[in-house]
Amino acid sequence: MASVILKPGREKSLLRRHPWVFSGAVAAVNGEPQPGDTVEITASDGTVLARGAYSPHSQIMVRVWSFNQDEEINPAFFESRLERAIAYRGQMLKTKPRPAYRVVNAESDGLPGTIVDRYGNYLVCQFLAAGAERWRKEVVAGLERLLPVDGIYERSDPGVRDKEKLPPRTGLLSGKMPPGLISIEEGPCRFLVDIQHGHKTGFYLDQSDNRAAVAEYAEGLDVLNCFAYTGGFGIWALKAGAAKVTNVESSAPALELAQRHVDLNRLDKGKVENMEGDVFQLLRVFRGKTRQFDLIILDPPRFVLSQGHLNRASRGYKDINFLAFQLLRRGGVLFTFSCSGLMPPDLFQKIVADAALDAGRDAQIVRLLGQSWDHPTALNFPEGAYLKGLICRAW
């Protein structure tokens, strides 16, 4: 087996069982491993630390499969990891039943670069790193045995694959081709999911618990749902008795599906306003018209694409939160999120606090939010807690 030898003193993160080895920590590579091959990771003194997948084109040169140096990385290994992930979801679904949920959450489920989501009788897979790509057939075979469904579809099309020098790939992996739209239930709400062309794997499953949280506040309120996508937060708010929901989204097809969700859930169309456009610009238009809202939801896309983007992204988060505080009525509630893994939680909270200060508003944090239960975070991989949210009340 080829090996990756670390520079002196660079084994500390591995001793804490962090699953990433960055290229800057590597002193040498012994052998001629190919992308995705399993390599041993050794300290500078020759101590074997772990086994992982080699990715020479990525800044993350190795992603750890196992810290047990005797564990073979073979089809049985992947089936065992899948069994563990599926067992946890099965246990949780006994008390939180729902047809759409994350089955495998990459590093946090011990399968770096591998994501599997379930929508009814279909699974959607993403293989986002060289190691995941190398073992994709074995993962699919394991899913077929452990979680039989009508079909398994691949959505390995995010830009993160570019960093691994992997081409995008989508298409049917097993079983029947999924229909254009799959109907799912989430609590009292029904949604249509386009797993072939929608964002991520079709729906923002990580926000499931937070959509339900909106329902606790929405009754009788005038709600502004920014970066609305297909209107998930808005539907929950309307189901809870919101007086009105305004969805703002830049994608016309997403807004069309948001309107279909109003009909699907038999809600009053007169209580819904769908506005296509840039959120930053429309918030300024609302401010110019002195329009105000009782509850505002900010769920923007990932602003921080790399560490070098952090300052620019911080300005973006500051801008939209500043505008939101200006548009909130006294006593209004703000749900604000960052899905950028590189955005530290304390920095995000400071940005929101500074936005409230600049808007001349007093505000308090009512609750801290994160991703839903089917997106667990391994304790040795804090980067897995990428979704950060605050519920704030402002005066």
CATH number of the domain to which 166 belongs = 3.30.750.80
* Span 85-133, pLDDT tens digits: 999 999 999 998 999 999 999 999 999 999 999 999 999 999 999 999 9
pLDDT of residue 278: 95
Closest CA to 144 of 73, 202, 86: 86
Dump strand ranges (E) for the chain.
Answer: 3-6, 20-22, 26-30, 38-42, 48-54, 60-66, 100-105, 114-119, 122-127, 151-156, 169-175, 182-186, 189-193, 222-226, 244-249, 272-276, 293-298, 328-338, 363-369, 388-394
Closest CA to 222 of 296, 126, 159: 296
Catalytic residue among 125, 189, 226, 339: 339
pLDDT of residue 386: 94
Name residues whose C-beta falls within 8 Å of residue 138's C-beta, 6 or more positions apart in sequence.
75, 78, 79
The reply to whether 300 falls in a domain is yes
Where the chain has pLDDT below 50, the residues are none
pLDDT of residue 158: 85
pLDDT of residue 117: 98
Inter-CA distances, 16 with 6, 21, 27, 41, 105, Å: 15, 12, 20, 14, 20
pLDDT of residue 307: 73
Q: Is 125 a catalytic residue?
A: no
Name residues whose C-beta falls within 8 Å of residue 344's C-beta, 6 or more positions apart in sequence.
none
Are residues 235 and 330 both part of a single domain? yes
Which CATH number covers residue 215? 3.40.50.150
Give the domain extent around 324.
204-394
The reply to whether 328 falls in a domain is yes
End-to-end CA distance of the chain: 62
Residue where one domain finishes, among candidates 66, 94, 109: 66
Are residues 58 and 130 both part of a single domain? no
Are residues 82 and 143 both part of a single domain? yes
The reply to whether 159 falls in a domain is yes
pTM, to two decimals: 0.95
Are residues 25 and 105 both part of a single domain? no
Q: How far is Cα of residue 264 from the mean position of the Cα atoms in its chain?
A: 26
Are residues 8 and 46 both part of a single domain? yes
How many domains are there within the chain?
3
Are residues 150 and 108 both part of a single domain? yes
Most distant CA pair in the chain, distance? 70
Are residues 100 and 53 both part of a single domain? no
Are residues 290 and 354 both part of a single domain? yes
pLDDT of residue 69: 85
Distance between CA atoms of 265 and 189, rounded to whole angstroms?
Answer: 7
